[in-house]
Amino acid sequence: MFIGEYHHSLDDKGRLTIPSKLRYELKEDFILTRGLDGCLFIYPKDEWENVINKYRELPNTRDARNFMRFLLSGATTCEVDKQGRINIPGPLSSYASLTKECVVIGVNERLEVWDKERWDNFMKENEDSFTDLADKLFTPNI
């Protein structure tokens, strides 16, 4: 399970350091792809297979096809270099508006990579709704 929030910077070549705590869980290679809400998703290979298997079960509808195009067209296999960095391809970096400062967060089965300003805005815009959201998600219906 991935947890935590880590702040790192992109270098001039578009590489991002993955925190050592998280590298161990990712193993040797993993999948980087477009995520939702303007971030990138990083999945370990075994979890990526679970995601793909779930999509294979979806009906062949326009919505399912479009989402698969979105998710898979941006997917790439990544490896961490000897300095603990990954290379983020230009199209993915542009999609997530990654500039210099980034935030890597653990979200259970995946990591998310956010532009720091976008992450800060997300947190600020949603901070008042987290309590209501928790109530809706975790309070049993009576």
Contacts (Cβ under 8 Å, ≥6 apart) of 57: none
In the DSSP assignment, the letter for residue 136 is H
Residue 135 is inside which H or E element, if any?
helix 130-138
What's the pLDDT at 130? 84
Confidence of residue 138 (pLDDT cuts 50, 70, 90): confident
pLDDT higher than 70, residue 46: yes
> Do the Cβ atoms of 7 and 103 come closer than 8 Å?
yes
> Do the Cβ atoms of 18 and 84 come closer than 8 Å?
yes
In degrees, rounded to 5, the angle at the alpha carbon of residue 10 between the alpha carbons of residues 28 and 85 is 20
> Do the Cβ atoms of 106 and 25 come closer than 8 Å?
no
Q: What is the pLDDT of residues 6-44, one digit of tens each?
A: 999 999 999 999 998 898 888 888 999 999 999 999 999
Tokens of 129: 């709704």
Q: What is the pLDDT of residues 69-99, one digit of tens each?
A: 999 999 999 999 999 999 999 999 999 999 9
Q: What domains sit in the chain, N to C, each tagged with a CATH number?
A: 5-138 (3.40.1550.20)
